Copies of this chain bind each other. A is one copy, B any other.
Amino acid sequence: MAPSFVPNGGFVAAGKSSSASVTSRLTSVYSEVQTSRIDHDLPLPSVLKRPFKVVDGPRSSAAGHPDEIAKLFPNLFGQPSAMLVPDDSNAELPDQKLKIGVVLSGGQAPGGHNVISGIFDYLQERVKGSTLYGFKGGPAGIMKCKYVELNSDYIYPYRNQGGFDMICSGRDKIETPEQFKQTEDTVTKLDLDGLVVIGGDDSNTNACLLAENFRSKNMKTLVIGCPKTIDGDLKCKEVPTSFGFDTACKIYSEMIGNVMVDARSTGKYYHFVRLMGRAASHITLECALQTHPNITIIGEEVAATKKTLKNVTDYIVNIICKRSEANYNYGVILIPEGLIDFIPEVQHLIAELNEILANDIVDEGGLWKKKLTDQSLKLFEFLPRTIQEQLMLERDPHGNVQVAKIETEKMLIQMVDTELEKRKKEGSYKMEFKGQSHFFGYEGRCGLPTNFDATYCYALGFGAAALIHSGKTGLISSVCASLHTLIIVGNLSAPVEEWTVGGTALTSLMDVERRHGKFKPVIKKAMVELEGPPYKKFASMRDEWALKNHYISPGPIQFTGPGSDAINHTLLLELGVQS
């Protein structure tokens, strides 16, 4: 069953695959760049290269409602964070073979395969004879006990490669008592010492619930989470970034930079670029910092300042008019995918529409509109016809309006066009507006991980295995730059050696939400902080970017040579390395 590497740079299948979707990579021919990445050497933080011990920090609390979190996690609440420190005695770590399971949960993010490689390599180096199982297709694979035993040959073609296809992912959650029972059966059947859950906020909440459950039942299985999401909204002081964010932002920024050069060369289009990131606008903000667009809409700012759709439209139109005075008839505008979700009046309209669509007859003549509140009716009439239709026609299986299907970039183009026509008649705008729409989404989720994400993920995986080896549970693997690194070297990539590795208590990231009369634990999404360094830097520069053209074209991600060690601005600014 082992794949064999063939001289033409490809892999050939070494037998009939048992699962088409999981092992299909083995029949792939690899590109030169893919092939070169497989054998790319990953630097390890020095603490992972030598014997270490785990040192506990002070007792932890919760992100909010510590009393409720304490009730929900009686066995885990208050756990200290753990830090790996060199220890040449190596007395504390057992050399008993380990059995560990790993699962990928939720949407793809570049670097997931490297987390798995990191876990595997740790076991190979430190606890020979151990076993790593990959659960297939996400948490459902745990519940249904669908897994594959991962060995060197199996893992090899996925090293430093994008995607999640080594074991695939899924969006199921382990929630009901039956599902917890299935999970217990699986970890018992496989005799698992540990389980690594690679996922976003929801999946890490789930990981913590599993850890609590196993401990409460005196089961030996330890659970460690890993911070994954290109959206960049799972982070805290000890978890400086979620993996995949760096790669995705660089892929999008390459495209934005190209579009900018095109805009400037052509001189006649406004490009409206919608970027993935539903809940938070980190991706849009980071891409703005990388490329310096003329206009950037940050959802969190729109929400905080209670902007209406008309306000957003006017903001764009005002800049377009000002630019026209400087004889610029082109530009680039970045819009977060989740923009609409940040606008309160749109939320109200959609709620009202859902109500009407569920209970009333929508007549052709439009009498149904009388059921809308004045504010919502005004907004509905303000929307372009095609968007009105999308709102009325596109419904999910529950009959609700599918906000995700609304092409915000096209909607804004139409609204901006309408407003500019008005201003033209008033004489305050004299040019010809032409909008071009773009949506960059799936293209960024599965790219080859950057050197940063590849290295970061490998350390996360190595660290996760080390935490399990050290008997830890309910932690999220965390890899940070040491203060020394930050002050002395000023960037994260060169001194990987000095990265710190540890685990942060998952309960310390949690708050509760009231759902159906009960408190539910949640890891709050990290939104763009309007007082944070990335936003503040952007805010200090955007007026200049709006009227002058300070476009930057980052170019394609490089794996060697100039640019290959670059790290995203958000991380550097939040760590205080960049100003």
Q: Which residues of A contact B (CB under 8 A)?
A: 20-21, 24-25, 27-37, 108, 137, 161-165, 168-169, 251, 254-255, 257-262, 264-267, 269, 271, 290, 292, 326-328, 436, 438, 442-448, 548-563, 566
**In the complex, how many angstroms separate the beta carbon of A340 from the nearest chain B beta carbon?**
20
**In the complex, how many angstroms separate the beta carbon of A385 from the nearest chain B beta carbon?**
10
Q: Which of B33, B137, B328 is close to A558, meaning CB atoms less than 8 Å apart? A: B33
Q: Which of B31, B164, B553 is close to A555, meaning CB atoms less than 8 Å apart? A: B31
Interface centre among A168, A257, A261 (most CB of B within 10 A): A261
- Contact of A261 with B559 in the complex, beta carbons under 8 Å: no
Give A515 to B443 CA distance when docked, in angstroms: 44
- Contact of B446 with A262 in the complex, beta carbons under 8 Å: yes
- Contact of A446 with B566 in the complex, beta carbons under 8 Å: no
A265: chain B residues at CB < 8 Å are 108, 163-165, 168-169, 446
A551: chain B residues at CB < 8 Å are 28
Give A169 to B33 CA distance when docked, in angstroms: 34
Give A132 to B20 CA distance when docked, in angstroms: 60
A290: chain B residues at CB < 8 Å are 31
- Contact of A262 with B28 in the complex, beta carbons under 8 Å: no
Q: Which of B20, B549, B554 is close to A327, meaning CB atoms less than 8 Å apart? A: B20
Residue of B nearest to A36 (CB): B562
- Contact of A28 with B550 in the complex, beta carbons under 8 Å: yes
Residue of B nearest to A251 (CB): B258
Give A306 to B225 CA distance when docked, in angstroms: 56
Contact (A553, B164) CB under 8 Å given A24-B264, A108-B265: no
Known: A258-B443, A261-B446. 7 other contacts (CB 8 A): A31-B290, A31-B554, A165-B265, A254-B556, A255-B255, A258-B446, A261-B447
A29: chain B residues at CB < 8 Å are 292, 550, 552
Interface centre among A260, A555, A561, A562 (most CB of B within 10 A): A555
Q: Which of B36, B259, B327 is close to A443, meaning CB atoms less than 8 Å apart? A: B259
**In the complex, how many angstroms separate the beta carbon of A437 from the nearest chain B beta carbon?**
9
- Contact of A558 with B555 in the complex, beta carbons under 8 Å: no
- Contact of A30 with B552 in the complex, beta carbons under 8 Å: yes
- Contact of A555 with B37 in the complex, beta carbons under 8 Å: yes
Q: Which of B20, B21, B32, B163 is close to A566, meaning CB atoms less than 8 Å apart? A: B32
- Contact of B108 with A33 in the complex, beta carbons under 8 Å: no
What are 23 A-B residue pairs whose CB atoms fall within 8 Å in the complex? A20-B327, A20-B328, A21-B267, A21-B328, A24-B549, A27-B550, A28-B550, A29-B552, A31-B555, A31-B563, A33-B562, A34-B552, A36-B561, A161-B553, A162-B553, A163-B265, A169-B266, A258-B445, A261-B446, A438-B443, A447-B556, A559-B562, A560-B561
